[in-house]
A and B are shown apart, each in its own frame.
Chain A
């Protein structure tokens, strides 16, 4: 199975700062089938990005995704208070679909 490794484990930033989250795959992710999800405490995950770079419905444009092959990035251009959460990447091109272990974005 494809193992996804996210870094850093925790990102401590202030509102207004830029966040850069990394997701590295153990083998190439088929056709860019890479998604990002946001999870806040006590809530279900929410789809942010699919196809590596397409924003899901209703997602603000401060969220952007990039990358291909084995290296992917989620960027939050300017952190808003509601963006502090845990972020997961997921590859859904090869069975079994797998998730990274998550990156926590916390207020500095």
Chain B
């Protein structure tokens, strides 16, 4: 059974930093691209970032480019999102997603999310 377990969400002040983690199990982590999708309170879904299976390529939404860094540790089956220079508009539930097969695959499994609140 595929499992994705996010952690690291917290209340942080504007301008602060946070690192999210996503521990995975139940599939061959090294074979799949992974991603992060966020959902602001009461709002819709927004793709944030993604990374290929080897970690050789990363992609970002314009809204987070230059502030967020996605990475993965294939020896630990874990995905990360380093979030710097946080803004109020980054407040959201952050979901870790596993991609399907292929470079443009859908997000076939989602974690339960970790809440990031940016406020003074």
Instruction: Name A residues whose Cβ lies closer than 8 Å to a Cβ of B.
Output: 30, 33, 35, 37, 43-47, 50-51, 56, 88, 90, 92-93, 95-102
Q: Range of interface residues on chain B?
A: 10 to 19
* Minimum Cβ distance to chain A for residue B49 (Å): 10
Question: For the complex, what is the distance from the CA of A30 to the CA of B45, rounded to whole Å?
Answer: 20
Task: Indicate whether B46 reaches chain A with its CB closer than 8 angstroms.
Answer: yes
* Minimum Cβ distance to chain A for residue B112 (Å): 5
Pairwise interchain contact B108-A47, C-beta atoms closer than 8 A: yes
Pairwise interchain contact B46-A45, C-beta atoms closer than 8 A: no
Task: Indicate whether B104 reaches chain A with its CB closer than 8 angstroms.
Answer: yes
Contacts of B95 in A (CB 8 A): 44-45
Contacts of A90 in B (CB 8 A): 45, 106-107
Instruction: Name which residue of chain A comes closest to B62, CB basis.
Output: A96
Pairwise interchain contact A47-B106, C-beta atoms closer than 8 A: yes
12 sample A-B contacts, Cβ–Cβ < 8 Å, listed by A number: A43-B112, A44-B95, A44-B110, A44-B112, A45-B95, A45-B110, A47-B107, A88-B44, A88-B45, A92-B105, A92-B107, A101-B44
